[in-house]
A and B are shown apart, each in its own frame.
Chain A
Amino acid sequence: MSQTEREKQIIKMWASESKIDYRKNNMFKDVDTYFTTINTNGISVSEYDFNNIPQLEKLFNELWTIERDDSVPRICAIAAFKERIKYDDMKDMRNKDSDRVLPEFIYNM
Chain B
Amino acid sequence: MYILGISALYHDSAAALIKDGEILAASQEERYTRIKHDKSFPINAIRYCMNYAKITEKDLEAVVYYDDPIFTIDRFLYNASAAEDCEEALNSAWESLFREKIWVSDLVKKTLGGFGRKGSLLYAKHHMSHAASAFYPSPFEKAAIITLDGVGEWNTTTIGEGNGNRVRLYKKIDYPNSLGLLYSAFTYFCGFRVNYGDYKLMGLAPYGIPRYYELIKDKLIDIKEDGSFRLNMEFFDFQNGKRMTNQKFAELFGGGEARNSNSDITKREMDMASSVQKVVEEVVIKLAKTASEITNQNDNLVMAGGVALNCVANGELVKNRIFKNIWIQPAAGDAGGALGAALLTYYDQFRKKRIVEKNDSQKGSFLGDGFEENEIEDFLKKHGFPYHKFTFNDAFFSEIARNLNEQKVIGLFEGRMEFGPRALGHRSIIADPRSAGMQSHLNKSIKYRESFRPFAPAVLEEDLDKYFEIGINNSYMLFCGKVKGGIDDGEYIQNYLESSNDLIPIINRKRSILPAITHVDNSARIQTVNYIQNPIFYNIIRTFKEKYSCGVVINTSFNVRGEPIVRSIDDAYRCFMETEMDVLVLENYILYKQEQPEWNCERSYYEPD
Contacts and interface: CB of A to CB of B under 8 A. Distances in A.
Given A22-B81, A36-B172, A83-B98, 15 more contacts: A2-B95, A8-B94, A20-B78, A28-B222, A31-B224, A34-B230, A40-B125, A45-B122, A45-B348, A65-B71, A76-B77, A84-B99, A105-B242, A107-B238, A109-B151
B64 A45 contact: yes
Interface stretch (B104-112, B199-207, B295-303): B104-112
Interface string A13-27: 011101010101111
A35 B171 contact: yes
A1 interface: no
A107 B184 contact: yes
B135 to A, nearest CB: 12
A87 B110 contact: yes
A105 B290 CA distance: 33
Interface in B397-441: none
B107 A93 contact: yes
23 contacts: A8-B91, A12-B86, A15-B81, A15-B90, A27-B232, A35-B171, A35-B172, A36-B172, A40-B128, A44-B344, A44-B348, A45-B128, A48-B70, A48-B120, A65-B74, A76-B77, A83-B95, A85-B103, A93-B110, A100-B40, A102-B196, A108-B11, A109-B151
A70 interface: no
Contacts of A48: 70, 120, 123
Q: What are the 6 tightest A-B residue pairs by CB atom distance, in nearest-first order?
A: A27-B222, A34-B228, A18-B81, A15-B80, A83-B98, A83-B99
Given A40-B169, A44-B128, A44-B167, A103 B195 contact: yes
A109 B150 contact: yes
Scoring A15, A37, A63, A83 by chain B CB atoms within 10 A of each residue's CB, the highest score goes to A15
Interface in B1-58: 10-11, 33, 35, 37-41, 43
A82 B102 CA distance: 12
A100 B345 contact: no
Scoring A25, A47, A94 by chain B CB atoms within 10 A of each residue's CB, the highest score goes to A47
B316 to A, nearest CB: 22
A90 B171 contact: no
Contact of B86 (A16, A64, A84): A16
A95 interface: yes
Scoring B33, B110, B121, B341 by chain A CB atoms within 10 A of each residue's CB, the highest score goes to B110
B98 A26 contact: no
B553 interface: no
B123 A102 contact: no
Interface string B144-184: 00000011001000111000000111111111010011001
Given A80-B98, A104-B194, A107-B194, A66 B74 contact: yes
A53 interface: no
B243 interface: yes
Contacts of B348: 44-45
A14 B82 CA distance: 12
Nearest to A89: B110
Contacts, number: 225
A36 B170 CA distance: 8
Given A33-B226, A36-B171, A90 B74 contact: no
A82 B195 CA distance: 30
A40 B155 CA distance: 13
B77 A15 contact: yes
A26 to B, nearest CB: 5
B88 to A, nearest CB: 10
Interface in A57-77: 59-60, 63-66, 68, 72, 76
A12 B118 contact: no
A94 B40 contact: yes
A106 B243 contact: yes
Nearest to B237: A106
Contacts of A93: 40-41, 43, 107, 110-111
Given A37-B171, A108-B11, A25 B234 contact: yes
Contacts of B169: 38, 40
Contacts of A102: 11, 37, 39, 193-196
A52 interface: no
A106 B171 CA distance: 27
Contacts of A44: 124-125, 128, 167, 344, 348-349
B225 interface: yes
B90 A8 contact: yes
Nearest to A82: B98
Contacts of B121: 47, 49
A27 B222 CA distance: 6
Nearest to B82: A22
Contact of B230 (A11, A27, A107): A27
Contacts of A101: 35
A2 B83 CA distance: 22
B3 to A, nearest CB: 10
